[in-house]
Chains A and B, each alone.
Chain A
């Protein structure tokens, strides 16, 4: 089913994220979320009574226990009872569900949040569990190795070089110096990065995301609330997500047709793009997504530093939308594209187009 372009204007009214860190073992998920949700509400002077719907994105596989999202609701406080939903996906998809509900016009505001502590287990093993359980997972291929296969395919196809991957990493972490929430930032030239050792060749250390504990929250608003809560609302004008087969060997890993289709339906090409926040945990993925979205060299990509600067699993996609919306709200951009990904090697992709007044 096509989500297509927005019918009812909905804005990203508020965005907050936790400090992204390698390991937060002083606070549980609820304690980590509480200040983030309080900040998202506080920035626009509202409380939970001002939102009609709550949707979260998280995964039990990080926590190691079932229905962990139910416990996380304590960070909001759901008494008296609230209308609430959850997706076992990045918060960007939770945002999509809330956006669809707001499109129906029965409610005017929603809280969306996501959380995940990657430090609790071994991500290389946890992320293997998302693979085909019969033809892939039994061999325990790790996420770094799968992305190395994708990076090699790009190199073999003549579409990119290892220096191109390093250039993405160098730029991202330099931009992250201006992002106080970033976990990894630094001004390191490409030549120096290319001296890094391989983790799984052809991916060197710099082309991998950090392992991050984090959380994020967004308030969506429509109608009067959208204009009352924001001086310059960041309107969602197009929103779509698409998925490719989970048979990795049946895909062309050098392209992202699901991103291209989502971008087409969301209307990326309907106007000039000032900036793009691309969810590319591995450096080479940014090159594939850029091409799929048709972004040229005039587009500012990942001014936040992107997922190479902080990669809180289940939140890094939602944060892309928040970062893009924040820059529109601040008047730094008029039209932005935010992208989120899920699954191995860009299997599933979401595209959100945001515009200023």
Chain B
């Protein structure tokens, strides 16, 4: 068969069901909607954020939810000069692993830093929440993190 005879067709698949998020992630998402960030107490008093229903290392049950952040420290970052169509920002930005104040693990989010020179490991960043009326209980309720005291 010649190339010109090969048939192509778009194929869209989706699973349009929903489920309850459970006691820990529900609280986390509700917190985001309210403009607050929550972590959960895990083994040895370690605070895990984003929280999970079990200790990510041991699988043990977790304890109380505690508020963390809102600011935090960049633990690693990667500079996206050409955002992909589903990325949270449509201009160059950094993905970063951010250890929020009071937490012992890192949250992945975007940092709207403007240029790669404006972000580095160890930098402090703060969340830029969407307006209260637009928040739905999702990590996307934070538009992006921005350098603390930065110009962006």
B-side contacts of A148, CB under 8 Å: 78-79, 95
A138–B88 alpha-carbon span in the complex (Å): 9
- Residues of B in contact (CB 8 Å), total 41
Is B110 an interface residue when CB atoms closer than 8 A count as contact? yes
Chain A residues with Cβ below 8 Å from B65 are none
Q: How far is the CA of A153 from the CA of B76 in the complex (A)?
A: 6
Find residues 111-167 in chain A having any chain B CB closer than 8 Å to their own CB. 124-125, 128, 134-136, 138-142, 145-146, 148-153, 156
Nearest-CB distance from B75 to chain A (Å)?
7
Task: Say yes or no: is A26 at the interface (Cβ < 8 Å to chain B).
Answer: yes
Tell which of B75, B77, B108 touches A141, judged by Cβ atoms closer than 8 Å. Answer: B108
Residue A253 CB within 8 A of the other chain: yes
Task: List A residues 284-338 near B (Cβ within 8 Å).
Answer: none
Instruction: State the CA gap A135–B37 with chains docked (Å).
Output: 12
Interface residues of B in 48-102 (CB under 8 A from A): 48, 50, 52, 56-57, 75-81, 84, 86-88, 95-99
Cross-chain contact A200 with B78 (CB below 8 angstroms): yes
Stretch at the interface among A14-22, A169-177, A243-251: A243-251
Q: Contact: B79 with A198, CB < 8 Å?
A: yes
Chain B residues positioned under 8 Å from A245 (CB to CB): 56-57
Smallest Cβ-Cβ distance to A60: which chain B residue: B13
Given known pairs A25-B6, A139-B110, the reply for A134 and B81 (CB within 8 Å) is no
In residues 98-150 of chain B, which contact A (Cβ within 8 Å)?
98-99, 105-110, 116, 121, 138-140
Contact A142 B84 (CB under 8 A): yes
Q: Is B25 an interface residue (CB 8 A)?
A: yes
| B84 / chain A contacts, CB cutoff of 8 Å | 124-125, 140, 142
Contact B6 A134 (CB under 8 A): no
**Once the chains are docked, how many angstroms separate the CA of A248 from the CA of B79?**
18
Question: With an 8 A cutoff between CB atoms, is B21 at the interface?
Answer: yes
B8, chain A: closest CB distance, angstroms = 8
A189 CB-CB contact with B under 8 Å: no
> In angstroms, how far is the closest chain B Cβ from the Cβ of A260?
15
In the complex, the chain A residue whose C-beta lies closest to that of B1 is: A26
B78–A201 touching, CB < 8 Å:
yes
Whose C-beta in chain B lies nearest to the C-beta of A121? B11
User: Does A65 interact with chain B (Cβ within 8 Å)?
Assistant: yes
Tell me whether A139 and B88 are in contact in the complex, defined as CB-CB below 8 angstroms, given that A149-B95, A250-B105 are known contacts.
Answer: yes
Are A250 and B6 also in contact (CB < 8 A) when A65-B13, A140-B86, A149-B78 are?
no
Say yes or no: A152-B105 contact (C-beta < 8 A), given A139-B88, A247-B56: no
Q: Quick one: CB contact mask for A25-46 with B, threshold 8 Å, 1 for yes?
A: 1100000000000000000000
24 CB < 8 A contacts A-B: A124-B84, A128-B86, A134-B29, A135-B25, A135-B28, A139-B87, A139-B109, A140-B88, A145-B95, A146-B95, A152-B78, A153-B75, A153-B97, A200-B78, A200-B80, A200-B95, A247-B50, A247-B52, A247-B56, A249-B50, A249-B99, A250-B56, A250-B57, A253-B76
- A interface residues with partner B (beta carbon < 8 Å): 25-26, 64-65, 124-125, 128, 134-136, 138-142, 145-146, 148-153, 156, 198, 200-203, 245, 247-250, 253
* The 10 residue pairs across chains A and B that have the minimum distance between CB atoms: A249-B106, A148-B78, A245-B56, A140-B86, A135-B50, A201-B79, A250-B105, A250-B56, A153-B76, A247-B56
Q: Can you name 17 extra interface pairs (CB under 8 A) apart from A124-B84, A156-B121?
A: A65-B11, A134-B50, A134-B139, A135-B50, A139-B140, A140-B88, A149-B95, A149-B108, A153-B75, A200-B81, A201-B116, A248-B106, A249-B50, A249-B98, A249-B106, A249-B107, A250-B106
